[in-house]
Structure 1
Amino acid sequence: MDFQPYPFEKLQALIKDIPIKAGRITLTIGEPQFPTPRSICNALKESVDLLNKYPKTTGEDYLKQAMLGFVKRRFNVDLDTTMLIPTFGTREVLFNFPQFYLFDKKSPVIAHPNPFYQIYEGASIASRAKTIYMNLTQENNFMPSLTKEQMQKCDLVILNSPNNPTGATMSLEALKQWVKNALEFDFLLLNDECYSEIYSSEKPTSILEASVAVGNTHFRNILSLNSISKRSSAPGLRSGFIAGDSEVLKAYMQYRTYIGCASPLPLQKAASVAWSDEAHTESSRIEYAKNLKLAKEILCKKISNLPIPKETFYVWLPVKDDLAFTRNLLEQENILVLPGSFLSRTDVQGENPGSNFVRLALVYEEAVIKDALLRISKWI
């Protein structure tokens, strides 16, 4: 399998000759820098004696019920137990689900956004699938689209709203149209919603809500992925779920019994506390909103039409040369960002929509982010 190096491997190669200095501010990775809430940590510590038991691949009932409760509270969507599978985070699902689903397809085709979370590409390679890139550009407001001809060819379409790295979020109406397309052209539609709980004002819409809104209450051809990694500042718990079409999930559950992705019971106990509680998410959400507000105040003085998102914690910053900008910023300001060209691919028309952008992950406290943004603004 011809996998490309991960973006962070490419970044290390790009900056390998630049000496490491104390005080570096790293804005490259979407890893929350706020502490995991004590209630979650305490649940983990109190459950360590469960390490002497094998976890079930299906997940414990208390965890599944906590996840179903989250979906009901957050999206007002009622799912039964056949419509949701707890998973070991969502990265493993994004990699192995396409391999499962596309295994019997003669000439499988995946469509996904470009730029993208690189695991989408890895899944496509492992599935021996042809990839259709949905380029996200300033001209299309960073919104994915396919022609009718492309939709006729697709077996699996992956969306990512709210989006990494652009921060763009699709409206209910846009998601409803995607559900209609999935039903009309009979492709499986999966929305990666791992940033749904990082927002400043309006709550982002789930593809499950859109499915119900068009009358597809059994979620035929529709799947959602979500995670507590960003929501609860707990990426180390590796707790996520896949939800939607029960017929697809029934077969996928059988497949999962062979791949050994069961979550340890102490992690499930802690995760169930996280999924059951909304209050603890508010403090970090407020901090991320402050950081995005700072980005608007500081960066838009230099780029007046820069779209600062109200969701996620990313800024997709246009620059003249993303590789040179990254090196220069590190050398001059000791701030490390991620080149956009490392997050995207050149399409058949020769266009790379990530070129000449850098991604800023605003995951630190307000004072650190303000300092970093003021220094970055000098170079744009």
Structure 2
Amino acid sequence: MNPLLSRLQPYPFERLRALMQDIVPNPALRPVSLGIGEPKHATPQFLKDRLSATLAGLAAYPATAGLPEMRAACAAWVQRRYGVSVNPATEVLPVNGSREALFALAQTVIDPTRDADRGGPVVVCPNPFYQIYEGAAYLGGATPVFANSDPARNFAADWNQIDEATWARTQLLYVCSPGNPAGAVVPLDEWARLFELSDRHGFVIASDECYSEIWFRDEPPLGALQAAQQLGRDFTRLVVLTSLSKRSNVPGLRSGFVAGDAQILKNFLLYRTYHGSAMATPVQHASIAAWNDEAHVVENRALYRTKFAQVTPVLAEVMDVALPDAAFYLWARVPDDVCGGSDTTFARELLRQYNVAVLPGSYLAREAHGVNPGAGRIRMALVAEVDECLEAAQRIAAFIRAQREPA
């Protein structure tokens, strides 16, 4: 067996199931789950219609590079959304959701034999982070190194925690903007610094932008390709990954695309050809329809804005939580006087007493630089309908107030 598999840690939801295995939730209350970030809004009917109308495409093997029409639709969306022109033939590649592409990209770009005399290659990740980054690093023969989030800077990653010797060994940097779990968006000046580091040390930047279409501020989140253009750069060593899962409420469709550096995408296509990663033709046709339509995205974003506007104030009365820049999570601090400030105890007791599931923040992070930056926090995925999320918020507030009452 591949010995690198032993380095993989249980996924957060496996740990959550283990944490809750002896808990009997309050049977008097219907269960409400805010634990998993799986969109629950309705899939647009026109996407389902398009998928079913093109099932004849299952009779042929799809090309790994995707249909020209698929690549053109992705490129056209990048132009409309970011004002950035990408070549659909060389700078766009369909992928089966951003998750598998985030993993496969590391296997493409990491050279495990390089820097052996200095401790081996490094992959830098934000912390907390999407666990695929860590697993991709390990199985690519690299070591993940973490930049902790800074609460004083809207939970942006503190890249200053990575020293020059580590940057010199870095082959891949994962950036998540808008971020999971705090929803922070990387600003232009930070992109400028990351690009300068990439130029100096030669590492690839993979920008995970799967939450880009759910935002709460006046302006949509800045994208990495957009930042590069504004800074007068080309896409050298830059790859952006995005998905329809959150944008169009089709996580089961497994559809997204990568865009950016043409040479990296050429090698990525070669890897994917052997990996067997071609997207089914009916899925491509449904995806084309999705990328070409913005009306359903505007409606979806409005649902989230309504939901967050109602839920956030209820929780802000009893705990440290604020409206994020983007994405569909609330990243809340467990009060010190509730469950001893423990995120795991809070999650257990909340499920036991109020039948609401949340994810302990410590499960989304690793101890780095002496701390686990997710400890003492919980992530709440506001993916259910408005009424259900509001009910969950009211139960959480009641739970916290009950914990604070004198015995």
Range of TM-score over shorter length: over 0.9
Is 1:345 aligned to residue 352 of structure 2?
Answer: no
CA distance in 2, matches of 1:211, 1:309: 24
Offset, 1:178: 1.9
What letter matches 1:216 in structure 2? R
1:330 and 2:339 equivalent? Answer: no
CA contact (8 A) 1:193 1:226 kept: yes
| Aligned: 1:210 with 2:227 | yes
SS class of match (2:151): coil
Residue 337 of structure 2 aligns with which residue? none
Report matched runs for 1:52-67 at 5 Å.
52-67=59-74
- State the one-letter code of the partner of 2:47: I
* Kept after mapping to 1: 8 A contact 2:105/2:268: yes
Q: Which runs of structure 2 are paired with 1:1-380 in the superposition (5 Å)?
A: 1-2=5-6, 3-19=8-24, 21=27, 23-80=30-87, 81-103=89-111, 105-106=113-114, 107-144=120-157, 145-146=159-160, 147=162, 149=164, 150-201=166-217, 202-217=219-234, 219-303=235-319, 306-319=321-334, 320-347=341-368, 349-380=369-400
| Cα distance in 2 between the residues matched to 1:105 and 1:273 | 43
Higher helix share: 2
Q: In 1, are the aligned partners of 2:173 and 2:204 still within 8 Å (CA)?
A: yes
Deviation at residue 265 of structure 1 after TM alignment: 0.8
> Residues 87 and 242 of structure 1 are in contact (CA less than 8 Å); yes or no, is this contact kept in structure 2?
yes
Q: TM-score, normalised by structure 1?
A: 0.96
- Alpha-carbon offset, residue 104 of structure 1: 5.2
Cα offsets for 1:20-66 (capped at 9, x unmatched): 54720011111111111011000001011111111111011111111
Structure 2 CA distance, aligned partners of 1:44 and 1:74?
24
Q: Which residue of 1 aligns with 2:338?
A: none
Distance 2:271 2:391 in 1: 48
Deviation per residue, 1:186-224 (Å, 9 max, x gap): 22111100000011232001100111111112x011111
Report the Cα offset of residue 148 of structure 1: 5.2
Deviation at 1:370, TM superposition (A): 1.1
Q: Which runs of no fewer than 5 residues in structure 2 stay unpaired? A: 115-119, 335-340, 401-407
Cα offsets for 1:305-359 (capped at 9, x unmatched): 5332031110011111011000110011100001111111112x33111111110
For the residues of structure 2 that align with 1:197 and 1:5, how far apart are their CA atoms? Answer: 29
Deviation at 1:177, TM superposition (A): 2.7
**Which residue type is aligned with residue 310 of structure 1?**
D
The letter for the 1-side match of 2:31 is R
The 2-side partners of 1:143 and 1:110 are apart by: 18
Unaligned runs of 5+ in 1: none
Q: CA separation in 2, counterparts of 1:378 and 1:105?
A: 55
SS in 1 for 2:152: coil
How far apart in 2 are the matches of 1:318 and 1:278? Answer: 35
Report the CA distance between 1:368 and its aligned residue.
Answer: 1.1
Aligned pair count?
Answer: 377
Distance 1:120 1:97 in 2: 10
Q: In structure 2, the residue corresponding to 1:158 is in which secondary structure?
A: strand
Distance, in Å, in 2 between the alignment partners of 1:378 and 1:181 is 47
Q: 1: distance between equivalents of 2:308 and 2:327? A: 9
> What secondary structure, in the 3-state scheme, does the structure 2 residue paired with 1:280 have?
helix
Distance in 2 separating the partners of 1:26 and 1:179:
39
Q: How far 1:173 moved relative to its partner?
A: 2.7
Task: Give the Cα separation in 1 of the matches to 2:359 and 2:271.
Answer: 36
Question: What SS does the aligned partner of 1:90 have?
Answer: helix
What is the DSSP-based 3-state SS (H/G/I as helix, E as strand, rest coil) of the residue aligned with 1:331? helix
Residue 291 of structure 1 deviates from its aligned partner by 1.9
- Supply the AA of the counterpart residue of 2:378: V
Deviation, structure 1 residue 181 = 2.5
Task: Name the Cα RMSD after superposition.
Answer: 1.5
After TM superposition, the score normalised by the length of structure 2 is 0.89
Contact 1:99 1:123 in 2 (8 A): yes
Displacement of 1:379:
3.3
CA distance in 2, matches of 1:377, 1:179: 43
Q: 1:42 and 1:200 mapped to 2: Cα distance?
A: 30
2 CA distance for matches of 1:31 and 1:104?
34
